[in-house]
Structure 1
């Protein structure tokens, strides 16, 4: 005998709840009243009514938690508890109606989560996630990475896929999508660089795992997470040795959220809109904070090494540090951070100990202008910014003071400091900018100092030009051709070719103006 489908008067459920709120707990807020009025007046489908009742229950709980001490007397608590029980009962009655109704499946499930992996069982995601103002039920669990299908309809790949279709008269295969995502398939108009930064993400995943579950459909197609899954695939397919067997083991299975077989086209669209059009409002740490973490860790590593490690051991230690913080397999970022922090610490020490500024004000300034220390740290050899500042206490203190006082309006103004150091006129203008109290006037004086330094450089480059050209052309005429072909590096050959091309037009005009009698 077939069981009768339960019937529930949806509007009545909301009317009863509304009356109970007005009678016993009218101070729970207008949001609750508005939801109940909507439920009482609007014709709702059972699934919509269930979702609304879930919100009602959550609102009652939240409102009760927010009530102040003076309003939490025993009688008030009893009223709220009774109301919560009433709302929960209504929700369960409507839920029974929803579960009893046959729902047409829009897609057949062909991809299944593992029943258990790493002692974690698959099951419903609780609480039910909300996407673009609607609850979308999902299951969570592990899936083998190779069972996930990269999503060709991802808007991120719209142009790439259309270009592939136009060229090949077919959509790309999953393997070809992977090649597009990782930059291994060259498409006209697309550079050979890692456009989607998959390698950087792979390095992060190798260090931290996949931190945000990708979302897959019932057939294994990705709705969100193409980059994360591509990064896992890159780790698994790596033959360079960058990723260890442990990294590959970690990337072989991914914890995902999967739509249920009852998901609708509207559910899918809401997931896509919510995760790609709406910002998650995450704000990255300032680079100063990241660099300080690396700097402190590096000093801690050095402190336990006795005797002091040599260059080769330090390079290995930096590679370990770089991998720990997901900064890549080489030490470029670590070295950059260490140099920047060295100058940032000098800046802080100067303003705290010499200028007697507030410690936290100084640290805020160091955070604000941290990228400027990247420019300051460049050029440790003679002729560079770091070298110029290291050789002159006055110049270094002037730059630190002007930086603190917001007199550098752009980080590009740091670079010419190395030229200002060699020009008496430019140094005098910089000194005026240093003591000028008006920031805009000081910035104008700084610009004048840079202009004066550049003019001095142009003058210096002109002096002795004849002798330099004579020496270079004599050497060039005498150098064996095989040297240019086999010994000189390709980069220098390119530089020479560019330089010759640049001056060719000028030389031809000079020769034409000189007349035939002056040309050998």
Structure 2
């Protein structure tokens, strides 16, 4: 290739052409052929843009820079395109003359050649011809006209007096630019990013010839999030970078609107898996990893590592794995109890699955105060609770959650026993008694906290009153500042309560 040719100001790419060629070969790109053609005659603008963009991206990747600076690539390509006069696009055969040669060109990748989408898609009654192939997602920007992001775009314009640029729009979607209620992940991209890192983009986004995504903004933004994050491996980033898309040809506004409406208003009738199904799959995989470990006793760090591996496999968080493990543990215990009591296994299974969420509520509360903490010490509590759960004497998971209060209150606990005894013949009365037990236990718990505060206040007042002034010298500055902050806060609350009672002024010693 002659570097004096006006079509060759590719200094950045030429420096790494050997490495880029190796990467291109893996992607099925014949760079030698395309570069040879460019050496003899200037390329048309669309083909040149496709070639130079691809080459610069590959070259950047080849030198180890995984996160391509898209704006720099585009600036380089624009400079190349403007360097020489170029022939019209129709003078160079592309193999797809029926399609407009836009900014984003489809590529063959991963064994898939660029081809027509068959059968031709129909959206909201309108036929839209498309082709499918792969693109580097770093060359796609989210669509600023997307209705999902419109409120955030409007707020950005109000705040900064201009529309957000492509990179800023991406940061709005990822939460890196805080708008709205300041939520860290307003469009829930992070769970989607983990899923894409694990298995790629499964549903092709729909883009125009110029790369405007009329469907798939979240998938594109989540894929870009993977590329920007240090959390993912090179393999995961490569999986997120190259995504299959459907690209429209010449389309009308009505056709584009039909795409948007069909994909966002029409229900696909897909029924999500019940939580108990997902939980048991997660726990089964976790248990398999535990059984494969040569160590009989695993440390907390080793268990967390296994949970992280399971979480990554299912694109969820470690906390969700822990929650499922605990829920399945109590669900299995519930089933064992009912089957041992003579219940039909199939009926027990159906009932367990129908109230599966309750097995999260059953362990609610602070450590040491959960109702499950008392099962071993008092098996009767376990029997009462499991019977009432099975027989539908409870009407919600919230009531199950409140059982730790009832179990700790003798009088409320007696009411629960009474409800258990009458549940078969007088179900309605038993349900009302459960409600009474919960309400009474809550009221007594609140009253007990009030008494505790009163006793503490008396002791605190006595202790502070008896403390000599010189005693504070032994305390550090940070402790003194914290004590002052707490006392000033308490004083404000006390003055407010006294004011509510009629601005009562109680004299203190020395008045």
| TM-score normalised by length of structure 1 | 0.71
Residue 250 of structure 1 pairs with residue 236 of structure 2: no
Within the candidate set 307, 331, 336, 2:323 is matched to: 336
CA contact (8 A) 1:184 1:192 kept: no
The answer to which of 196-205 and 304-313 deviates more is 304-313
Shift of 1:173: 1.0
In the other structure, the counterpart of 2:419 is: 433
Quote the residue 1:272 is aligned against: 260
Q: Deviations over 1:56-81 (max 9, x none)?
A: xxxxxxxxxxxxxxxxxxxxxxxxxx
Provide the residue aligned with 1:451 in structure 2.
Answer: 439
Distance 1:283 1:146 in 2: 33
Which residue is equivalent to 2:155?
163
For residues 388-437 of structure 1, the C-alpha deviation after alignment (integer angstroms, 9 at most, x for no partner) is 34432111121111111222222221222112112222112112222323
- Tell me the SS of whatever aligns to 1:414: helix
Compute the displacement of 1:129 (Å).
1.8
In the TM superposition, what is the alpha-carbon distance from 1:205 to its structure 2 partner? 1.0
Residues 97-138 of structure 1, C-alpha deviations (whole Å, 9 max, x = no match): xxxxxxxx9976332101x11221010112222211233221
In structure 1, C-alpha distance between the alignment counterparts of 2:494 and 2:194, rounded to whole Å: 45
**Are 1:110 and 2:128 matched, yes or no?**
no
Name the residue aligned to 1:216. 207
- CA shift, 1:449, in A, is 0.4
Q: Single out whichever of 510-519 and 293-302 deviates more from structure 2.
A: 510-519
* Cα distance in 2, alignment partners of residues 132 and 219 from structure 1: 23
Taking the aligned partners of 2:455 and 2:133, their CA distance within structure 1 comes to: 75
Give, in angstroms, the shift of residue 223 of structure 1.
Answer: 0.5
Q: 2 CA distance for matches of 1:171 and 1:447? A: 55
TM alignment of 1:366-515, pairs within 5 A? 366-379=352-365, 381-434=367-420, 435-437=422-424, 438-463=426-451, 465-472=453-460, 480=475, 482-484=477-479, 502-507=493-498, 512-513=503-504, 515=506
Structure 2 runs not aligned, ≥5 long: 1-97
CA deviations 1:36-72 (Å, max 9, x no partner) are xxxxxxxxxxxxxxxxxxxxxxxxxxxxxxxxxxxxx
Preserved CA contact (<8 Å) 2:205 2:246:
yes
- 1:258 Cα deviation from its structure 2 partner: 0.9
Cα distance change of structure 1 residues 487 and 460 upon mapping to structure 2, 3 Å threshold = closer
Of the candidates 135, 144, 147, which is equivalent to residue 143 of structure 1? 135
> Structure 1, residues 269-327: CA drift from partner, whole Å, max 9, x if none?
11100001112222221111111111111211111222222222122111111111111
Give the whole-Å Cα distance in 2 for the aligned partners of 1:334 and 1:462. 38
**Residue 343 (structure 2) aligns with:** 357
Query: Any conservation in 2 of the 1:140–1:256 contact (CA below 8 Å)?
Result: yes
Aligned 8 A contact 1:365 1:404 in 2: yes
Please name the residue that 1:49 is paired with: none
Q: 2:164 — aligned with what?
A: 172
CA distance in 2, matches of 1:343, 1:191: 37
Question: In the alignment, does 2:119 pair up with 1:119?
Answer: no
The whole-number CA distance in structure 1 between the counterparts of 2:311 and 2:480 is 39
Structure 1 residues 180 and 459: CA distance shift in structure 2, 3 A: closer
**What is the CA deviation profile of residues 467-504 of structure 1, one whole-angstrom value per residue up to 9, with x for unaligned ones?**
4224445677777362437889xxxx999887665555
Q: Secondary structure at the match of 2:357?
A: helix
Matched, 1:297 2:289: no
Any gaps of 5 or more consecutive residues in structure 1?
1-104
Change (3 A) 1:485 1:196: farther
SS where residue 170 of structure 2 aligns?
A: helix
- TM-score, scaled relative to structure 2: 0.72
CA distance in 2, matches of 1:504, 1:447: 37
Which of 239, 258, 272 is 1:284 aligned to?
272
Q: Contact 1:120–1:141 (CA<8 Å) still a contact in 2?
A: yes
Q: What do the CA deviations read for 1:225-252 (whole angstroms, capped 9, x no partner)?
A: 11110001011111xx311111111111
Say which SS state the counterpart of residue 165 (structure 1) adopts. helix
Task: Confirm or deny: 8 A CA contact 1:291 1:341 kept in the other structure.
Answer: yes
Task: Tell me, in whole angstroms, the C-alpha distance in 2 between the residues paired with 1:150 and 1:497.
Answer: 51
| Partner residue in 2 for 1:199 | 190
Instruction: Determine the C-alpha separation between the residues in 2 that align with 1:364 and 1:305.
Output: 33
Tell me the distance in 2 between the aligned counterparts of 1:389 and 1:399.
10
Matched position secondary structure for 1:293: helix
Going from structure 1 to structure 2, the CA distance change for 1:130 and 1:447 (only over 3 Å counts) comes to: same
| Residues 380 and 386, structure 1, Cα contact 8 Å, conserved in 2 | no
Between the aligned partners of 1:496 and 1:296, the Cα distance in structure 2 is 52
Assess, with a 3 A threshold, how the Cα gap between structure 1 residues 170 and 348 changes in structure 2: closer, same or farther: same
Counterpart of 1:229 (choices 216, 220, 228) is 220
Q: Is contact 2:363-2:401 (8 Å) kept?
A: no
Matched, 1:322 2:317: no
**Whole-Å Cα distance in 1 between the matches of residues 476 and 330 of structure 2?**
46
Report deviation, 1:458.
Answer: 3.5
CA distance in 2, matches of 1:276, 1:411: 33
